[in-house]
Chains A and B, each alone.
Chain A
Amino acid sequence: MNRSHRVRTPAIVAAAAAVAMIAAGCGGSSSSSSSSSGAATASAPGITATQILIGSHQPLIGPAAPGYSEIAPAANAYFQYVNAHGGIYGRKIKYTYLDDGYDPSKTVSDVHQLILQDNVYAIFDGLGTPTHLAAVSFINSSKVPDVFVASGCDCWNDPSKYPDTFGWQLDYIREGKILGAYIKQHFADKKIGYFYQNDEFGQDGVKGLDYEIPHAQVVSRQTYVPTNVNVGPAVAALKASGAQVVVAFAIPAFNALFKLTSLKLGFNPTLVASNVGTDPITLGGLLEAYAKQGGAKVNGNQLTQGIITDGYLPTLGDTGNSWIALFKKIHDTYDAKAPFDGNVLYGEAVGYTFVQAMLKAGKNPTRADLVSALNHGLPQGPAVAPYAYSSSDHAGVTGAYIGVIKGGALVQQGPVYVTDTSPTGAVTAYTGSEQTAPATGMP
């Protein structure tokens, strides 16, 4: 069954989403030609009659490890749940992830090991932009599916150059546009300052912001590098410029440092920040010590209160949400040592997406079947906005809602917005609805 190609207007997006939901409810039909009912066979490298072997590269130690090292175990937790409930067409998922310490040379080495020695079926959720960029050519030339890269770079959306590579999370340009549109609407007369990481993450985010926010409004642009924790000069510069709203594309540690340094300098702007750095549990944890201060006037939660950010997965605070309930249950069973925070939610959600894709690829899929399955689109799953997946678009989630951190949890404000990565593409409210989690927990 062929899906209609996605066209970027809300009505058709909603219709396609509805079709997808129905199709998903029917148990996911396959569009591959090699699917067949009957016995499970070793249809591709990494696939045997009983097992699907996938691999990844993750920063388990080193500067990028805090937080990110929780993602792979969380995805694995979801896979263990699936394995315990029948697996994928009877096969269990075995997930091997190698540490690359955020060193691109090590990533290349790891990927060579996974593909040449371990013969994985696919590379799943490779984490990091410079790291994955180092390996992506080799993965594609080896014709191995490279699904759901854990990075918001829009470089994964290049079907002509990297036909086997697919993004997953909301990319930074889209995120910048969504935040920018919100600022343009709600802070039209305020001075804006930027505080961003001096690499592709921050630079792409700022690109998106600049597509929406009029240049004249931006009074200061300050960068930081993760190796230098002294953000005093940058914050001082922002304060001196008179910025009333600061937009931050920063990792949690640097959002926390921004807040603390602002306190020291007596600077109190409204903070609008990328979701990369605003998981309330992580951020709260970093500021926790300031809540324990006897007699001091600052309090951990106070510092995160009122931060405006975005989200493309249901918020952790929304305990009534079916996805949160499902993922919490799985976390408590299979990954209980980790805190149930944004990284764990990310890991489980992307794991769920992989299972969706595999089910769609067919009972005895080849590597090409997985790629083809994604090229024909994927149902929304836990994400709040649809995926862009098609044969001409390998980007993942296309939108997010704006939220505010209140009382240590993220609270959604308003609708979900969707957009594209072009300078002129509009940011529009998404009129489709979210899917609910399946009762069995399996797609």
Chain B
Amino acid sequence: MREFIQFTLGGISFGMVYAAIALSLVLIWRGTRILNYSQGAMAMLTTYIAFTVIGHTGSYWAGFAAALAAGLLLGAVIERTVIRPVENKPPLNAVVVTIGLLVFLEGLAGIIYGGQYRSFPPAFSITGLRAGSVALGVSRNDVFVAGAVLAAALGLALLFRYTSAGLRLRAAAFNAYAARLLGVRVGRVLTLGWALAGLIGALAGVLVSPATFLYPASMDSIFVLGFTAAVIGGLDSPVGAVVGGLILGVALNYIGGYLGSNLVPVFGLAALIVILMIRPSGLFSVSTSRQV
């Protein structure tokens, strides 16, 4: 029983990171109908920036802030330069461009920082918390990870619902032509969407890198699972992204614990297929399914 609780709590920690990646993917999808395969690589690069800043200043929070700022900037720059030309083209073009971006960023990180694993500091202590004498299998840092992602999700929700920028984002995603007619600068809004996605991705990067170590390919498997979570939850739904991430993280932790580490990707695939068979647009999606 104690094992079960530990598996659950441990799964939540990784699950929150998957949720963050899923959230950033959903953000981009809703805005530009593009699936950003380089989301993980972008997060890796911003984490390297944080690593450099922490190395120079000695302050974790300076690095944390630098990563988030870099994420905003990177997302905006990428949208403006590389993504804008393919936004109205066939979806394959965007797939290829974002994969190209993924490869480019990983190679770049390899050249600038080298391939060796870097130790990235956690925000808070990783020593397990105890309830009396019982180890809970959760650390203060884990609580911070969960809290940070939930705060980001909440912040996004509030942004969408209660601010004019959020309204513009929703309008542009809903119907770009009509939004333009109503005076929304759709281009700027899309850039904002990518910037926010970059921010959330950067957050995911710094939160998970203590546990994965930092190297050019460190975000690859995190991205794959975050993307799986997004698809399971429904690419249209931010709620689905968070819930999907949590469910996936916990479920895969059970698999890893009871059946072995090797089977985790297999079960991820199985879960994806099963859920897409039942609901091809994901669990929480509300768009109508395709009719032929």
A and B touch in the complex (CB under 8 A): yes
Measured CB to CB, the residues of A under 8 A from B are 61-63, 65-67, 69, 198, 223-225, 227-234, 236-237, 240, 252-253, 256-257, 260, 263-267, 285-290, 292-298, 300
Q: List 19 A-B contacts (CB under 8 A).
A: A61-B115, A223-B260, A223-B261, A225-B262, A229-B221, A230-B10, A232-B257, A233-B258, A236-B3, A237-B257, A240-B2, A252-B117, A253-B213, A256-B213, A267-B135, A286-B213, A289-B120, A289-B122, A290-B126
Q: Which of B127, B138, B215, B262 contacts A296 (CB 8 A)?
A: B127
Q: How many residues on B have C-beta within 8 angstroms of the other chain's C-beta atoms?
A: 45
Interface residues in B1-24 (C-beta closer than 8 Å to A):
2-3, 6-7, 10, 14
Contacts of B217 in A (CB 8 A): 62-63
Q: Quick one: given A230-B14, A232-B10, A289-B120, are A265 and B135 in contact (CB under 8 Å)? A: yes
Which 5 pairs show the lowest CB-CB distances between chains A and B?
A233-B257, A266-B135, A289-B121, A289-B119, A232-B10
Contact between B115 and A233, CB atoms less than 8 A apart: no
Contact between A236 and B122, CB atoms less than 8 A apart: no
Q: A198-B260, A230-B211, A263-B139 are in contact. List 18 more A-B contacts (CB 8 A).
A: A61-B110, A230-B252, A232-B253, A232-B256, A234-B257, A234-B261, A236-B7, A264-B126, A285-B117, A285-B118, A290-B122, A292-B121, A293-B121, A293-B122, A296-B125, A296-B127, A298-B125, A298-B127
The CA of A293 and the CA of B124, in the complex, are separated in Å by 8
Q: Write out, one digit per residue, whether chain B residues 232-273 have a CB within 8 A of any chain A CB (1) or not (0).
A: 000000000000000000001100111011101100000000
Chain A residue with Cβ nearest B10: A232
Distance in Å from the Cβ of A152 to the closest Cβ of chain B?
A: 21
Chain B residue with Cβ nearest A287: B119
The CA of A227 and the CA of B138, in the complex, are separated in Å by 23
Contact between B127 and A263, CB atoms less than 8 A apart: yes
Contacts of A227 in B (CB 8 A): 221, 265
Contact between B261 and A228, CB atoms less than 8 A apart: yes
Measured CB to CB, the residues of B under 8 A from A are 2-3, 6-7, 10, 14, 58, 60, 110, 115-122, 124-128, 130, 135, 137-139, 142, 210-213, 215, 217, 221, 252-253, 256-258, 260-262, 264-265
Distance in Å from the Cβ of B55 to the closest Cβ of chain A?
A: 10
Contact between A290 and B7, CB atoms less than 8 A apart: no
Contact between A263 and B128, CB atoms less than 8 A apart: yes
Of residues B14, B60, B125, which shows the largest number of chain A Cβ atoms within 10 Å of its Cβ? B125
Contacts of A63 in B (CB 8 A): 217
Chain B residue with Cβ nearest A66: B116
Contacts of B125 in A (CB 8 A): 293, 295-298
Chain B residue with Cβ nearest A267: B135
Q: Quick one: given A227-B221, A264-B127, are A233 and B7 in contact (CB under 8 Å)? A: yes
Q: Which of A224, A263, A287, A288 contacts B261 (CB 8 A)?
A: A224
Q: Quick one: given A66-B116, A66-B215, A260-B211, are A232 and B126 in contact (CB under 8 Å)? A: no
The CA of A236 and the CA of B3, in the complex, are separated in Å by 7
Contact between B6 and A260, CB atoms less than 8 A apart: no
The CA of A297 and the CA of B128, in the complex, are separated in Å by 11
The CA of A62 and the CA of B220, in the complex, are separated in Å by 12
The CA of A63 and the CA of B115, in the complex, are separated in Å by 9
Contact between A266 and B128, CB atoms less than 8 A apart: yes
Contact between B6 and A236, CB atoms less than 8 A apart: yes
The CA of A209 and the CA of B272, in the complex, are separated in Å by 40
Contact between A232 and B6, CB atoms less than 8 A apart: yes
Distance in Å from the Cβ of B114 to the closest Cβ of chain A?
A: 8
Distance in Å from the Cβ of A48 to the closest Cβ of chain B?
A: 34
Contact between B117 and A66, CB atoms less than 8 A apart: yes
Contact between A257 and B211, CB atoms less than 8 A apart: yes
Contact between A290 and B119, CB atoms less than 8 A apart: yes
Contacts of A252 in B (CB 8 A): 117
Contacts of A69 in B (CB 8 A): 115
Contact between A65 and B115, CB atoms less than 8 A apart: yes
Contact between B117 and A253, CB atoms less than 8 A apart: yes
Chain A residue with Cβ nearest B140: A296
Chain A residue with Cβ nearest B59: A294
Of residues B2, B135, B265, which shows the largest number of chain A Cβ atoms within 10 Å of its Cβ? B135
Contacts of A231 in B (CB 8 A): 261
Chain A residue with Cβ nearest B221: A227
The CA of A98 and the CA of B111, in the complex, are separated in Å by 17
Distance in Å from the Cβ of A64 to the closest Cβ of chain B?
A: 10
Q: Quick one: given A237-B257, A290-B126, A293-B125, are A66 and B115 in contact (CB under 8 Å)? A: yes
Contacts of B120 in A (CB 8 A): 289
Q: Which of A67, A223, A265, A294 contacts B137 (CB 8 A)?
A: A265
Chain A residue with Cβ nearest B141: A264
Q: Which of A67, A237, A264, A286 contacts B119 (CB 8 A)?
A: A286
Contact between B261 and A198, CB atoms less than 8 A apart: yes
Contact between B256 and A228, CB atoms less than 8 A apart: yes
Q: Which of B128, B130, B135, B261 contacts A225 (CB 8 A)?
A: B261
Of residues A63, A66, A230, which shows the largest number of chain B Cβ atoms within 10 Å of its Cβ? A230
The CA of A283 and the CA of B278, in the complex, are separated in Å by 46
Contacts of B116 in A (CB 8 A): 66-67, 285
Distance in Å from the Cβ of A130 to the closest Cβ of chain B?
A: 16
The CA of A261 and the CA of B212, in the complex, are separated in Å by 12
The CA of A234 and the CA of B10, in the complex, are separated in Å by 12
The CA of A266 and the CA of B139, in the complex, are separated in Å by 10
The CA of A227 and the CA of B260, in the complex, are separated in Å by 13
Contact between A236 and B137, CB atoms less than 8 A apart: yes
Chain B residue with Cβ nearest A337: B114
